Amino acid sequence: MTTVQHVIDVMERLAPRSYAESWDNVGLMVGNRKTVVKGILTTLDVTTEAIEYAVEHNCNLIVSHHPLIFKGLKQVSSDTALGRMIEMLITNQIAVYSAHTNLDIAPGGLNDMLAERLGLIDIQGFIKTGEDVLYKISTFVPEDAADAVRIAMGEAGAGRIGNYDYCSFSVNGEGRFRGNDQSHPVIGEAGTMTIVPEVQINAIVDATNFNAVLMAMKEAHPYEEVAYEVVSLAEPNGAIQYLGRIGRLPNALKMDTFREWVQEALPDANIRFCGVVPEKIQTVALCSGAGAEFIKDAARHKVDAYVTGDVKYHDAQLAKESGILVVDAGHFGTESIVAYGLREYLEASSLEVPVHAYGEQQDFFFL
């Protein structure tokens, strides 16, 4: 039985929420985590047409790239397009989960999907955004409850090291405490000094699972007041996060051939070019969606071309001044592939529910 939470867990193994930019809104937008999933629809945007498709194909979970709810809502009214969509979703009991900048950044996420579509090899990160943070959580548990607490923490995501999980380290000792008149101790009596054989359980956890592990630990812990400590580890998890990618084409191409190459790779894109055309094009930087702010960075990396979307007039001027060829393949053109990429990922994750990709969405711009 696959629940909404099971699908969320699978998505966040690919794109942890901690990767998302601070201004972003990712996660469960609408719905109940405990709902049993009958079918999944993957899409770039949650639109009225996508919801109708989900209803028609018995999909009660939509996984989108662009967040359904981006800014804070003060009201949900059928007088607005967003309000009507939320009403449709609730009426038809359809949940929505969105993975946005965390999916852009994640290894195997949207920018890697785009690099694969463009046929790039020797792919590396483009714009560094951060590093995975690790924490050590220590708690103090009566000996007979230690296994239950260890298992609860492990199930919530603690103790994952490489190809191992449920990793922890324990130290035996004595706990001492005295409760006041308002306390209700599980062991001993209020007002009396109590000495208990305890186990100190130590486990590491990443930022994505940190809150879930703390909650699971507290729920499994027998004490009325749970004692624990958290240490941020000086050594990061080792994984550096990047927005965008840099790679190279298998062969250097002339401009006319490169134009055809990009259009064939991104058939939904309305492609424009600006900047300076090099004699040959082989090294390529890319950033899906709106990445014009990184034109200078692409020029600094001395790539032959930079593929992105939402390029404005003065961005084109900057491209010329920086001496770089910029390919504006559009926000939609660089991101519409996400519906198929997410379907492929979810189908490979053994969820045992049908997964549909919404491929009928059109660019909001047309010629």
Neighbours of 235 (CB within 10 A): 7
218: nearest Cα among 134, 136, 137: 137
**Distance (Å) of CA 109 to CA 62, 325, 348:** 17, 25, 14
Determine contact, residues 90/30, Cβ cutoff 8 Å: yes
Give bridge partners of residue 253 from the DSSP assignment.
281
Q: Confirm whether residue 132 is marked as ligand binding.
A: no
* 331 labeled part of a ligand binding site: yes
Is 104 annotated in some ligand binding site?
A: yes
- Rounded to whole angstroms, the Cα distance separating 293 from 319 reads 11
Contact 156, 162 (CB under 8 A): no
With contact defined as beta carbons under 8 Å apart, do 40 and 155 qualify? no
Rounded to whole angstroms, the Cα distance separating 262 from 271 reads 8
Q: If you write DSSP's letter for every residue of 32-79 in order, what string do you get?
A: -TTPBPS-EEEESS--HHHHHHHHHTT--EEEESS-S--S--S---TT
Q: Reduce the DSSP state of residue 131 to 3 states and report it.
A: strand
Binding-site entries: 65-66, 104, 331, 335
Binding-site entries for a divalent metal cation: 65-66, 104, 331, 335
